[in-house]
Chains A and B, each alone.
Chain A
Amino acid sequence: MEFLNNITKIMLPEILLIVFIFIQIILSMFSDTKFYKLSKWLTVLGIFLAISLCSKVSIDPIYYGFKNSIISDNYTIFFKFLILLSSFLIVFLTKKVIMSRRDNAFRFNALLLTVILGSLILVSANDFLTMFIAMETLGFGMFFLIAFEKGHCSKEATLKYLVISAVASAVFLFGVSYMYGITGSVNFSSIYDYFLNNNPTLLYSMAAIFITCGLAFKLGVIPFANWILDVYEGANTSVVTFLSIVPKVAMFGILARLLVFPLSYSFELTFILVVISVATAIWANCLAIRQKNIKRLLACSSSANASYVLFAAALVSVFNLSTVLFYLVAYIFMNIGVFAAVIILESSEFSNKLYEFKNFAYTNPVFTLCFATCIFGLAGFPITAGFISKIYLFSAISRSGLIFLPFLMIMMLTIVVSVYYYLRVVKFMFEKSDNVTSEVIPHKVSSAIVILYCCAAITVILGICPSKIIEICQLMAYNI
């Protein structure tokens, strides 16, 4: 009875997604290629219903379900909403991959929903085992999605992803086992309470470091960052969009909770996370300078952005957490916008090479404007969400104490480098060249174009009047 009660109170969106996953799997057995469009609309419907069910979840007071292993509060519901919203946008970008593999359309969507399910459970996890299971659900779904694209590159990417993922999981579990050994529990709240009465030892710090290093894989930061370029290049672009946003948002959601509760006693961890994030910023931004492929460039960019957020998240405070949330909101829209543009280009038979972007500004002005808006947003230029979110994030870091100021300065230097490679993309679009045949992107309205325009518009709106969203983020951060 308690089980059912739990389900109806806090797991409604997840249960709904499971139902839709089964529907998709069953349909995949019977369907022939004619109904491939149905799969997409089923997914859209599923995510839409899940979003609307989010409001039914009980969050006040904080609800602990399934013997304390699942938590439900304002903070988790915010992340669930964020994950579902971004997935909702990304589903509209999957047209091409479904068209190319019509026979597998239902399977593709079932996997997509599995990853979303994993992310939803991950942000609401309240013990390490639930968290691990959610992470693996997410990881395995992602693994098949990356392998979905035909071709040699995708196989290499899949293998790389799988192997490094396995190593990272092992490291994570190793840390968890130490934590269990010290405290006798895997529950976040119990571990937190245990150290209220006991002094944290060096072993505890080591366990904490191993756990967060395990998480570094999904975030794409050092020490498990080197998969990111090849996977981004090899996998299908719509899958990459998904990969760069949904698992990452979920990971930051759980990481912030870990840092606030079970891992909050280790100063060494804070320090190491700061070093890791600065190292990642240097690594990713310097690597991006020479990239000629937009997808590889965006891989570096996503890694760099993760490192900025990690810096703020590592210095735990309510204010920092609110900046992390706002940065994630802004990042979602800018990133989806940029990837939508890349997908539009791919479907118009452009390759991902930067030099093919020449002449765009003159043949496709509106497209260029929106694309450039999102790129400028990522670079942090004003009247975009990127500008506000960067100021907000840095304000949090600089408030956290003068000790971290040198690190912040190094990170800012790498941001100057990042401006260079973002502007390079824009530069190519405005370059005139007679060698490249100036093709016009087809003007028929596709969902990807609508998504691109929406994301560019939201990027600008968030950049001009961000007040309300920041207030919501602060509210959520106070509630953790």
Chain B
Amino acid sequence: MQHLSVLILIFSPLIMSAILFTPFFKNNEVRIRRFSKGFASLHFLYSLLFLVFFNPLNQGISYYEEIKFFGTSWIQPLGFKMAFGLDGISLLMVILTSFIFLLALIASKSNIRQKHKFYYSMIFLLQTAVLGVFCARDMFLFFMFWELELVPMYFLIGQWGGGNCKASAMKFVLYTFLGSLSMLLGMLLLYFYNFSTYGTMTADFSAISVSSPEFPIFLQVFISILLLIGFAVKMPIVPLHTWLPDAHTDAPTPVSMILAAILLKMGAFGVIRFNMQLLPEGFQYLVPLLLIFALINIIYTAFVAYAQMDLKKIVAYSSISNMGIVLLGLCTLNLIGFSGAVFQMVAHGIISAGLFMLVGIIYIRTKTREIADLGGLGDVMPRLMGFGIILSLASVGLPLLIGFVGEFLVFLGAFNSPVDELSAPIKIYSVIAISVLVLSAAYILRLLHKTFFANIFEKWSKINDITNHEFVVLFALILAVAFFGVFPMSILDIIQPILANILEIFKI
């Protein structure tokens, strides 16, 4: 389809964030909110159009577009291009982004009480940055959007958060900056190695992805590690995860939803884009190591989640655990596990957004997130309890719900993985990792039990059930949870051709 422009998709939120400062909006809270939501719904519909006209079997990049300034590309002397395009994975992520941002904007009504104009403009800036990351076709453009995302996130956590939010925002920025500088170094080495081998100055993903036999393996591994540090901070992988519980706890609910649902996926997306597509040999070399990290990620954080007393921290640690499953899926190096990993990215995006929404709803009404203070809310909030139970069960991995598909595919893939021949006992690992199903059931059901059932407190007998806004958000998420749980092929059909394509590069 010729008329769909990926540039409009990416930059319209940026324009919207500028429009919010025009005199038309004054300081009229309602008007700002309604326009934002209206815009986000249009954006979501527009992103769906890309899906309608997308051909997954198309080998190259769909909807490719490049911005030129005065006839030259972005940084002409270095061969950097401001080029955007979509493949199956990016398309999926773009639609997820647009969907979650719409829901986050709806959820903002009850959570954001001040500085509305600034808030909504920052959200839209964040949306542009995230979409840019998913659509960029140039390494350094990818990096630019990756860094750009820090600015709105710093303000979103620091300005509208609670608790010790300023420190958490700073911690988030510093951690990510550290990771991204290491990533930058990796990219530069890759870029210059490519330059010295082929003599063309380019940072285009499709131009660089040819792996040459002369590319020394130690350099590939070194660059892979540098890049992985950057993505590991974002994903997060265990030793670099400490920013995440803080950021989640102190961020306002809509921002937590975005953070868990979209930003963590950027890390996994980066691993696929860089480590798997550009540096397959380096990745393959590191798989045994990464498997151990994945295992630690899955099991350790599940235990930590069980020990938490704060609702948001439980969900935050469960996010890390789930991203461990994604990493395990990526390391299986076969189509089943790989598509399971990407599916799990979507599934976790939807479920974690729902769980954060749930916690946020409870927090607004009770002003506490401590498990010990809560109990018996099912009595006064039956609708919320209904949604909560479905989301929790999806998170635990009940069949016919979205959480089941991803986890099942990953573990199935891990069991049949060719990595087994590579000295890594992935079968044993996957047996250990499957125990996470029990652990996640333990901490999620504990959350469910302690908040909705258990002791009935007199002080919570007056609170109201969910409002229409909150109902819409949760209902939309539940719809997605059920639909993709029953028809997982609707997602897998989009991604499997490109994933098979990526796996062909691996000599295994």
CA distance A235 to B171 in the complex (A): 35
CA distance A112 to B144 in the complex (A): 39
Tell me how far the C-beta of A6 lies from the nearest C-beta in chain B, rounded to whole angstroms: 35
B46-66 residues with Cβ-Cβ distance < 8 A to A are none
B132-166 residues with Cβ-Cβ distance < 8 A to A are 140, 143-145, 147-148, 150-151, 154-155, 158-159, 166
A372-420 residues with Cβ-Cβ distance < 8 A to B are 376, 381-383, 387-388, 391-392, 394-395, 398-399, 405, 408-409, 412-413, 415-416, 419-420
Q: Is B181 an interface residue (CB 8 A)?
A: yes
**Contact at B77–A471, with CB atoms within 8 Å?**
yes
B117: nearest chain-A partner, CB-CB: A365
Tell me how far the C-beta of A423 lies from the nearest C-beta in chain B, rounded to whole angstroms: 6
Q: Is A64 an interface residue (CB 8 A)?
A: no
B192: nearest chain-A partner, CB-CB: A399
CA distance A415 to B182 in the complex (A): 11
**Contact at B185–A412, with CB atoms within 8 Å?**
yes
Q: Is A435 an interface residue (CB 8 A)?
A: no
**Contact at A387–B74, with CB atoms within 8 Å?**
no
Contacts of B173 in A (CB 8 A): 419, 423
**Contact at B158–A430, with CB atoms within 8 Å?**
yes
Tell me how far the C-beta of A239 lies from the nearest C-beta in chain B, rounded to whole angstroms: 32
Contacts of A474 in B (CB 8 A): 77
CA distance A5 to B295 in the complex (A): 78
CA distance A11 to B185 in the complex (A): 44
CA distance A467 to B81 in the complex (A): 11
CA distance A394 to B154 in the complex (A): 25
**Contact at B178–A413, with CB atoms within 8 Å?**
yes
**Contact at A395–B166, with CB atoms within 8 Å?**
no
**Contact at A416–B181, with CB atoms within 8 Å?**
yes
B178: nearest chain-A partner, CB-CB: A416
Q: Is A440 an interface residue (CB 8 A)?
A: no
Q: Is B188 an interface residue (CB 8 A)?
A: yes
Tell me how far the C-beta of A218 lies from the nearest C-beta in chain B, rounded to whole angstroms: 29
Q: Is A427 an interface residue (CB 8 A)?
A: yes
**Contact at B192–A395, with CB atoms within 8 Å?**
yes
* Centre residue among A381, A431, A470 by max chain B CB count within 10 A: A381
**Contact at A466–B75, with CB atoms within 8 Å?**
yes
**Contact at B150–A467, with CB atoms within 8 Å?**
no
Q: Is A99 an interface residue (CB 8 A)?
A: no
The answer to whether A419 and B69 touch (CB under 8 A), given A398-B188, A430-B155, is no
A412: nearest chain-B partner, CB-CB: B181
Q: Is B101 an interface residue (CB 8 A)?
A: no
Q: Is B24 an interface residue (CB 8 A)?
A: no
**Contact at B170–A423, with CB atoms within 8 Å?**
yes
The answer to whether A464 and B78 touch (CB under 8 A), given A416-B174, A430-B158, is no
Checking A399, A423, A467 against B77 with a beta-carbon cut-off of 8 angstroms, the contacting residue is: A467
**Contact at A468–B70, with CB atoms within 8 Å?**
yes
**Contact at B154–A423, with CB atoms within 8 Å?**
yes
Q: Is A465 an interface residue (CB 8 A)?
A: yes
The answer to whether A376 and B151 touch (CB under 8 A), given A388-B75, A391-B140, A395-B192, is yes
CA distance A90 to B159 in the complex (A): 34
Contacts of B76 in A (CB 8 A): 467, 470-471
Contacts of A388 in B (CB 8 A): 75
B118: nearest chain-A partner, CB-CB: A361
Contacts of A423 in B (CB 8 A): 154, 170, 173
B385-410 residues with Cβ-Cβ distance < 8 A to A are none
**Contact at A465–B70, with CB atoms within 8 Å?**
yes
Tell me how far the C-beta of A327 lies from the nearest C-beta in chain B, rounded to whole angstroms: 14
A233-269 residues with Cβ-Cβ distance < 8 A to B are none
**Contact at A409–B185, with CB atoms within 8 Å?**
yes
Interface of B is mostly: helix
Contacts of A398 in B (CB 8 A): 185, 188-189, 192
Contacts of B144 in A (CB 8 A): 382-383, 387
CA distance A382 to B72 in the complex (A): 20
**Contact at B154–A382, with CB atoms within 8 Å?**
no
Binary interface profile of B, 166-190, with partner A (CB < 8 Å = 1, else 0)? 1000100110011001101100110
The answer to whether A382 and B184 touch (CB under 8 A), given A420-B174, A423-B173, A465-B74, is no
Contacts of A395 in B (CB 8 A): 78, 188, 191-192
B187-242 residues with Cβ-Cβ distance < 8 A to A are 188-189, 191-192
Tell me how far the C-beta of B18 lies from the nearest C-beta in chain A, rounded to whole angstroms: 11
CA distance A209 to B424 in the complex (A): 53
Give the number of chain B interface residues (Cβ < 8 Å): 35
Tell me how far the C-beta of B434 lies from the nearest C-beta in chain A, rounded to whole angstroms: 38
Q: Is B73 an interface residue (CB 8 A)?
A: yes
CA distance A322 to B184 in the complex (A): 20
**Contact at A382–B148, with CB atoms within 8 Å?**
yes
**Contact at A430–B185, with CB atoms within 8 Å?**
no
**Contact at A392–B78, with CB atoms within 8 Å?**
yes
**Contact at B70–A415, with CB atoms within 8 Å?**
no
Checking B69, B184, B185 against A465 with a beta-carbon cut-off of 8 angstroms, the contacting residue is: B69
**Contact at A383–B148, with CB atoms within 8 Å?**
yes
CA distance A427 to B75 in the complex (A): 32
**Contact at B158–A427, with CB atoms within 8 Å?**
yes
The answer to whether A467 and B74 touch (CB under 8 A), given A381-B147, A394-B184, is yes
Tell me how far the C-beta of B181 lies from the nearest C-beta in chain A, rounded to whole angstroms: 4
CA distance A232 to B386 in the complex (A): 63
Contacts of A408 in B (CB 8 A): 185
**Contact at A419–B174, with CB atoms within 8 Å?**
yes
CA distance A423 to B191 in the complex (A): 30
A427: nearest chain-B partner, CB-CB: B166
Checking B73, B78, B151 against A381 with a beta-carbon cut-off of 8 angstroms, the contacting residue is: B151
Tell me how far the C-beta of B81 lies from the nearest C-beta in chain A, rounded to whole angstroms: 11
Tell me how far the C-beta of A300 lies from the nearest C-beta in chain B, rounded to whole angstroms: 18
**Contact at B150–A381, with CB atoms within 8 Å?**
yes
Contacts of A322 in B (CB 8 A): 77
CA distance A412 to B180 in the complex (A): 10
Contacts of A399 in B (CB 8 A): 188, 192
Contacts of B184 in A (CB 8 A): 391, 394, 412
Contacts of A466 in B (CB 8 A): 75
Contacts of A427 in B (CB 8 A): 158, 166, 170
Tell me how far the C-beta of A387 lies from the nearest C-beta in chain B, rounded to whole angstroms: 7
**Contact at A430–B159, with CB atoms within 8 Å?**
yes
A465-480 residues with Cβ-Cβ distance < 8 A to B are 465-468, 470-471, 474
Contacts of B159 in A (CB 8 A): 430
Contacts of B170 in A (CB 8 A): 420, 423, 427
Contacts of A382 in B (CB 8 A): 144-145, 147-148
CA distance A467 to B69 in the complex (A): 8
CA distance A398 to B196 in the complex (A): 13
Contacts of A392 in B (CB 8 A): 75, 78
Contacts of A465 in B (CB 8 A): 69-70, 72, 74
A430: nearest chain-B partner, CB-CB: B159
**Contact at B69–A464, with CB atoms within 8 Å?**
yes
Tell me how far the C-beta of A459 lies from the nearest C-beta in chain B, rounded to whole angstroms: 14
B159: nearest chain-A partner, CB-CB: A430
Instruction: Report, nearest first, the 5 A-B pairs whose CB atoms are least far apart.
Output: A465-B69, A412-B181, A398-B188, A467-B72, A382-B144
27 residue pairs A–B, Cβ–Cβ below 8 Å: A381-B147, A381-B150, A391-B140, A391-B184, A392-B75, A395-B191, A395-B192, A398-B185, A398-B188, A398-B192, A399-B192, A408-B185, A412-B181, A412-B182, A412-B185, A413-B178, A415-B177, A420-B170, A427-B158, A430-B158, A431-B166, A465-B70, A465-B74, A466-B75, A467-B77, A471-B76, A471-B77
Q: Name A's B-contacting residues (CB within 8 A).
A: 322, 376, 381-383, 387-388, 391-392, 394-395, 398-399, 405, 408-409, 412-413, 415-416, 419-420, 423, 427, 430-431, 464-468, 470-471, 474
